[in-house]
Structure formats: C-alpha cells, structure tokens
A and B are shown apart, each in its own frame.
Chain A
Amino acid sequence: MVKAVDGVDLSVDRGRTIGIVGESGSGKTVLARTIMRLNLGVNVHTEGSVRYAGVDLLDVPKKQMRDYWGAEIAMVFQDPMTSLNPVVRIGRQVTEHLRHHLGLSKEEAKETALALLKEVRIPEAEARLNAFPHQLSGGMRQRVCIAIAIACGPRLLFADEPTTALDVTVQHQIMNVLAREQNERDMGMVLVTHDLGVVAGRTDDIAVMYAGKIVERASTKSLFADVKHPYTEALLRSIPRTSHASHTRLAAIVGRPPDLINPPSGCSFSPRCAYAQDICFTEEPVLEEASPNHEFACHFPVGTEPNREAFEKNVAKGMPQAVSIRRHEESLAELGGHV
C-alpha cells in the first residue's frame, strides 16, 4: 500500500488562500484530488472526512459530486495544453457548465463567457470564443482555464501548479489574475506548488508536506520569518536566488523523497536531514505548536540550541547533508549576499 497522504488536517476559510508546498511525490496533488473526489475509485482507500460547508464530501455519492464540481469547488490544473479539449472551440468549453449548472440559454451563456474572458484580460475576447486551444499561447490558455473554473462562481478554488509550465513573465500575470479573482469573489483558494517563491507573496497560510504528511504549517509571514522544520528550511535554501552572487554554492537536499511503500521509521525526513540524531530514526515527531498558528513536527527545530548542537555534531561526523549546508554558508560568506 502506498500511503500517499497520511493523516492530514487542513481548513480553508472563505476569502483565504492557503499554499500547499512540497517536492514531487510529497502527496500534495493527491490531497487536492482526494478532497475533490477526483481520484479513481479503484484500489484507493480513503479515510477521514472532508467537510465542505457542513457536508462531508466523502459521503456524497459520486454522481452528486457533479453538482459540486465547477459550481461549488473548481480546479485549475498544471498543464493548460492538456486540460482543454483540443477539438472543441474555447467558447463551448467556457459555456458548457454555465449552461449545465446555471441553466443559462445559449445567448446568455455566450454573453457570460465573453464577460469572463474579458475579466481574465484576454484581448479580442469575441474572436477567441471561436478559436481552438492550439491557436492560443500557453499563458492565454491558462487564462481560459481560470475563466472556466470561476464561471459558475465556486466558493473554493484549487490551483494545482497553475504556473509551472509557463514563462516567468506569464507566471507573474497568471498569479495576478488568480489573486484578483480570489479577492473579488471572496473565494477560498488552495494553491498547490513546489515553488516557495510563488506562494511567498500570495498566500495567507502555508502547509509544507513531506511524504504524505504535513510537517510544518503556519501563517506565511511567520513561516518565512521563523522557519522551524528542517525540510522547509532545506527547500528554501536550495532555491537559487537572484540576490545571491553568481556561483554561490547551493545547499542541495541530498538523496530523494522516501519510498512510500516502505517509509523510513521515525521521522520520514531523517535520512536527508542535516540535524538528524538517533532519536529521529526511531521516534516519529508529532505536530506541536511553536506559537499560535504555527505548528511543526521535529525533534530538533531550526533556530534552537539543540538544533545547532546537532548540526555541529553532524558536520564533525562528515554527514553529507550537513556538509552541504556548511559549504553553502561558507560560499555565501565568501561571495557576499547582495551584489
């Protein structure tokens, strides 16, 4: 059995944006799809509850989920090339569930679709209604996907890596469109991504996932100001930054995410952690509170004395993950931070 998601608790309020961050295989997409009931039913074992406005979605019969999809909860996917139907004109793809959910007439639906395309700032919107997806650029296709997702006024929007396939300039624009729609429509939004840079300025709260579990959860400000979990710290450190001098040695996270069929005993991050001590390999840490609204699961949280001692011990032992961080720090000191 692959435990893709393991005991995750989350809540999203109206008008709030929560970011779910982690590497490939950390379970973030499976989590989002399970909440939406988009996982194939075969051989999938799901436990727990998903309460949406008082209803447990896991108890809703699959057929009735259609009343929720699009109308109540909607999703924007990673790849705008494959999430649109290549042989159906844009107009019909936008009007399809306007007609289904809201029961609009053809003309009304077309008018609404036009307004939606204008809302996400697609130029010459009228002409685009008759276009096929391949006639649009990647960024424009993602705008169409957003228009489809918000068409029926959902109260909760999942965006699963919405900008990973796009150029930086386009990414910035798509995130702006999402932020404005979320704000104006007072939707709850769940932003799933592997890029801490993307969620930094755009979320209220962040949950960091590793091996199917949430290892740290905090308000965005508190998470960046006071990182507690070594995995969050490692993710942040491995990102190359434009404010660091060229040729700064990067603090790579050694190894790979764990095998979810046979997860390591103790803390699942321990084999890759620069601070791991004996206890980490045997005892699994539980989520504890660092401050109100900031939780983490670690025996040696970052920024504490035991953490510093553990790090020095591991450097002395020549543990590759600790040495990698030491080299990063030395290189930063040598080359200077801001140039």
Chain B
Amino acid sequence: MAGTGTAHLRDGDEVLLRVEGLTVEFPAPGGNKVKAVSGISFDIKKGETLGLVGESGCGKSTTGKAIIQLPPPTGGSVQLNGDELTDLHGDELRRRRTDIQMIFQDPISSLNPRRKIGKVVSEPLDVWGPDSKEEKQAITDKFLEAVGIDPDVARDKRPHEFSGGQCQRISIARALVLDPSLLICDEPVSALDVSVQAQILNLLGDLKVEYNLTLVFIAHDLAVVKNISDRVAVMYLGKMCEIAESNEMYSNPAHPYTALLLGSVPEPDPNTDLDLEIVEEGDLPSPINPPSGCRFRTRCPRADEQCAAEEPQMVEIASDHFVACHHPLIDPQPAEVSLAND
C-alpha cells in the first residue's frame, strides 16, 4: 500500500471536495512525530458518498477531522468548492466550516447530557442562523421530523431519555440544521445494534437525496461501507491503498490489504469455508517509525525487496479503479500496456 500519487484525482466542476497530499503529524515523546496521515489524496463529487475504511489507527478519523481543520493538517491542501480551507483562519474559517458538519461514533456522549434536545439541535442556529426565535424553532422541528423524532415529544427531554439509535438521529438533525453540503460521518453506526444500524443507514441514504448531501463515511465495517458508498478508499497506516467504485472494489480487490480485510468479514452463512489458520499477532508497525517503501509490506504475503525499497504509486488498474501496490492481485488493464508501447 503505502501509496502516494494523484492519478486517481478527477477534474471538473462537480468535484466538491479535493484533498491533496494531506499530511497530519502529532508530536511524540523524544522529539519524534506520529505520522497519522502521510500524504493522501482523494476527491468527492457533489452528491457522492466516499467510504473510508481501514483498521483502528490507520488514520481514517484523523483524515475526517483534518478536512474540517480540527486541527488544521500539517501539510497538504483541502479544497471545498475550489476554496482552500487550509489558508483560512479565524472568523473566515468558522464561517466556511458551517458548510461541513460531522456525526460522531458515540451518539450518547456526543450530546450534552444536561441540555434539552431542542437546545442541542438549535444551538448551531444560535451562532449562524436566523435571529427570530420562531424561525429557529421551525428549522429545528423540521429536521427533527426529518430524522424521525417527534419534535413535540423530544424538545424538552434530555439525551439520557433516548436510546442510542435515537441519540444518533438527534446528532444527525443537529448536523443538518445549517444546511451543510458535506457531511462527515465518523463510525456513525458502529456503536449500534444491527437492527438500529440498518435504520440509520437507510435514513442517511434518504437524507442524502433529500438535502443534496455529499458524504464522507468513515467505518471499519466493510459491509456497512459498501452499502452506503459510491466509492470506497482503503487506508493503511496513514496511506491510501486502493480507491474504486464500491461494487468494483468488493468484487475485484486489487490490493493484498483489501483482500485481507474482505477475507475477515464474517458472512452470516454457515457454509462459508473459514480460514482457520492462526497467525501470530505481532505489533502493528508504529506510525512513529513506519516501514520503508510500502507500509503494508510487513504483513503482506506478496512483499519482496522492491516493496521495501520503493513506495508504490497510485495507478489505474481498471476503469476508475486505482491501487498503490507493486504486486496487485489483478493485472493492470491492457489499455495501459498499449499506451506504453506507443
């Protein structure tokens, strides 16, 4: 994996968000740096859903936060509708940021337990919304209804009176009141039961259409990501491995890491052949001192000297299917070969 390169970026007016060479580093003891995200690039078209998958610690949440400049990335560019967010500061940044909203993993702790729901959902409007109280309440009620919460019942209750699924609906309503164009969902369903998870995923799909939303959907569950995403990007240790249209990615994974992830998904079918081999669990490579070349090579069955020496670049292996690997699982498309011959 471990790839860099921008071959997979698209041009055109429909691109809403363009992230290029995004790098996020945090200081670590001993003058070291935790390289949480190391030069990843991707873009999202208007109305598209991009799924970001990877194991814990691969930098997917950090990427989501870097998009809204919380904290601002160490390097790279984040463009929303052509505006460079990393150049904005203070009031300008805060105003521009209303266009991007976020939903978090734990629905209960992301709502203030001492506040009433009406207040929680209308707070963004107090800062950026209309002045009149009636208008604010009308907007709040409209979005609570849109997420399936009865505003008359909920308005004066507090978060502990709701279940996890309902709290997540309330968080979604809060994220929508300022009419954002980009919604970043950071593991929004991983704390929920399967039955409730399905409700929230269906709801997000409906809201996306109704309010012209563009989604970044961060999750570790590959089946969930496939269900909601148009395009999926796989991350490993701060780098991008593979990006493709979701059906294509899941039927033809090209990166050995994607294949490993897909092979680990438990399918609810007793007749699937399980790979029962037990692998010794080594320490994951540290993001303070990541492996040279391809960062996945220490766990990769296909790794060789080239992988240690050279970092793979993103190449188009099939139509709209990009992978950063020296030894991908599928052969590059013939079109590339003929180009090379020319």
Contacts and interface: CB of A to CB of B under 8 A. Distances in A.
Given A121-B280, A247-B227, A234 B195 contact: yes
B55 A252 contact: no
Contact of B230 (A171, A244, A246, A254): A246
Nearest to A245: B247
Interface in B36-61: 55-56
A167 B56 contact: yes
A142 to B, nearest CB: 10
Interface in A160-185: 167-173, 175-177, 179-180
A82 to B, nearest CB: 16
A24 B193 contact: yes
Contact of B197 (A167, A173, A238, A244): A238
B194 interface: yes
B112 interface: no
A198 B193 CA distance: 14
Given A200-B272, A221-B270, A253-B198, A143 B281 contact: yes
B306 interface: no
A176 B277 CA distance: 7
A224 B56 contact: no
B7 interface: no
Contacts of A121: 278-281
B223 interface: yes
Contacts of B198: 238-240, 250-253
Contacts of B227: 240, 244, 246-248, 250
Contacts of A310: none
B282 interface: yes
Contacts of A168: 55, 220-222, 261, 264-266
B246 A200 contact: no
Interface stretch (A10-18, A72-80, A90-98, A189-197): A189-197
Nearest to B165: A256
Contact of A180 (B250, B269, B278): B278
A202 interface: yes
Nearest to A250: B198
A201 to B, nearest CB: 5
A202 B247 contact: no
Contact of A238 (B163, B194, B226, B272): B194
Given A167-B56, A194-B193, A253-B198, A242 B279 contact: no
A122 interface: yes
Interface stretch (B171-179, B199-207, B317-325): B199-207
A191 B165 CA distance: 25
Nearest 8 A/B pairs, CB to CB: A197-B266, A252-B198, A253-B195, A250-B198, A238-B198, A240-B227, A246-B246, A252-B199
Interface of B: 55-56, 163, 165, 193-199, 201-202, 205, 220-224, 226-230, 246-247, 250-251, 260-272, 274-284
